[in-house]
Every structure is written in structure tokens, then in C-alpha cells.
Chains A and B, each alone.
Chain A
Amino acid sequence: EVVLTQSPATLSLSPGETATLSCRTNQSIPMYFAWYQQKPGQAPRLLIYSASNRATGIPPRFSGSGSGADFTLTISSLEPEDFAVYYCQQGSTWPPITFGQGTRLEIK
């Protein structure tokens, strides 16, 4: 099973700052890697697929990078609506599809 470890668990930043979220895997992931945003009481929303492609309607301040076993989600110029929980997910080695444990982005 591919284990995804997200860091930090909680990130405290102010609007306008840049958030850098990390997701490391215990084995190399060739291709199928995604990031999601989840707000309280809502379903997750796809932000990034295939490691670096923004999903439809996602603003350009969200960017994904990385390869192998080390992936990053960067959110530039944080907006108030960006404070949420973020999950990474891999689909390259299955079953199972696996998710990270989440990073909570909170307002400082």
C-alpha cells in the first residue's frame, strides 16, 4: 500500500501570504497524483490532477508540482476562502487508492 504523509499537519498563515503544503509517499508515484480542498460540511473539491494540472475553474494561484515521491501544493496570495483542509491522493498503485491525512490551513 502506498502511504501518503502530509506536512505540516496545521499551517497558520495570513491572507496574502503563500502556502506550501507537502505530500511524501513511501514509494515512487509515476503519474496519478491529485490534491483536494475540503471546507467544513462540504465534499472535497478537486484542485490539481496528474500532479500539476489545475482542474476546471481552479484559480491560477493554486499550483502543483513534484514527481516521484515528493509533491507540493503551492497557494499564492492566500484569499480568505482558501482556509480549509487539503488532501493529497494517489491513484498510481492500487488497490487501494490512498489519501494523505490532510493539512489544515488556518488563518493566523
Chain B
Amino acid sequence: QVQMVQSGAEVKKPGASVKVSCKASGYTFSAYYIYWVRQAPGQGLEWMGWINPNSGDTDYAQNFKGRVTMTRDTSIKTAHMELTSLTSDDTAVYYCAREKRTGGLRLLSLDFWGQGTLVTVSS
């Protein structure tokens, strides 16, 4: 069965960086885009960007350009999201999620999600 398992909670100081991992299993890793979505406490969902695990190509939300880097390691079926120059506004649960496909068609919806990684930024 498809699973997305994320790395554990992090506590960081302002100005630091955080790297969150997402290990996929149960499907062909390179065939499905992986998204990163975050959710601040009590707030809604915010798209950060995606990565094509096959090519490594990425697309980032404007709000995060220059601060976020998404990478993947196909040998261990793991995607990573690194966010730099953290502030208290970056305190949130960060999710990875797999984009749904049917045949060769991208459906731009998210059918499997990781459990979330809480990142707390505090001095």
C-alpha cells in the first residue's frame, strides 16, 4: 500500500534552516509528483511547491522562492524540503503529498499524504 512517512518534529531558532524528509513506499516513486503543503496552527492549507521525482524539476510558490529547496533521492525513494531563514511565521505542520494520476494524466489533486512534520520556530 502507498505510504508517505515524514521525519520527526523540529524546533529551530529564528534565522535557522530546517530540512524535512518524506519517504515513499508502495508505488513507483519516480512516476508521481510530490507536493509540499504547510498548515500554520489553526489555519488553512498553503501550497509551497512540487518536485517531479523523475527529472528533479521543481516549481515553487512565489511566497517561498529564494527560501525553499525541494530535492529527491530516487535511490531511497525520499523527497526533501529545506526552508531557510526561518521566522516565527514559519511555525507550522509541513506535509508532503503525492499527486494523483490516471494513466499518464496528472490530476493536480493529492491522493496520499504524509503524517505531517511540526516545525516550531522559537527563540
Please tell me which one of the listed residues B44, B59, B62, B97 contacts residue A87 in the complex, with CB atoms under 8 A apart.
B44
Q: Please provide the chain A residues from 29 to 59 with a CB less than 8 Å away from any CB of chain B in the complex.
A: 32, 34, 36, 43-46, 49-50, 55-56
B32 at the interface (CB under 8 A from A): no
User: Measured between C-beta atoms, what is the minimum distance from B30 to chain A in Å?
Assistant: 20
User: Measured between C-beta atoms, what is the minimum distance from B110 to chain A in Å?
Assistant: 6
Q: How many CB-defined contacts (below 8 Å) exist between A and B?
A: 67
Please give me the residue from chain B that is nearest to A41 by CB atom. Answer: B116
A99–B109 CB distance below 8 A: no
Residues of A within 8 A of B108 (CB): 32, 34, 91-92, 94, 97
Residues of B within 8 A of A101 (CB): 44
Known A-B contacts A50-B107, A50-B109, A101-B44; the reply to A95 vs B59 at CB < 8 A is yes
Please tell me which one of the listed residues A44, A50, A95 contacts residue B61 in the complex, with CB atoms under 8 A apart.
A95
B29 at the interface (CB under 8 A from A): no
Residues of B within 8 A of A34 (CB): 108-110
Q: How far, in angstroms, from A82 to B87 measured CA to CA in the complex?
A: 35
Overall SS of chain A's interface: loop
Please tell me which one of the listed residues B46, B61, B113 contacts residue A43 in the complex, with CB atoms under 8 A apart.
B113
B107–A32 CB distance below 8 A: yes
Q: Interface size on B (CB < 8 Å)?
A: 24
Of B45, B109, B116, most A-chain CB atoms within 10 Å: B109
For chain A, the bracket of interface size reads 20 to 34
**What are some 17 contacts across the A-B interface (CB < 8 A)?**
A32-B107, A32-B109, A34-B109, A36-B110, A43-B97, A43-B116, A44-B45, A44-B97, A44-B110, A44-B113, A45-B113, A46-B111, A49-B111, A89-B110, A95-B49, A95-B61, A95-B62
Beyond known contacts A91-B107, A96-B62, A97-B108: 5 more, CB 8 A cutoff: A32-B107, A32-B108, A44-B113, A50-B107, A102-B44
The 9 closest A-B pairs by CB, nearest first: A91-B108, A34-B109, A43-B113, A32-B108, A49-B109, A97-B47, A99-B45, A96-B61, A101-B44
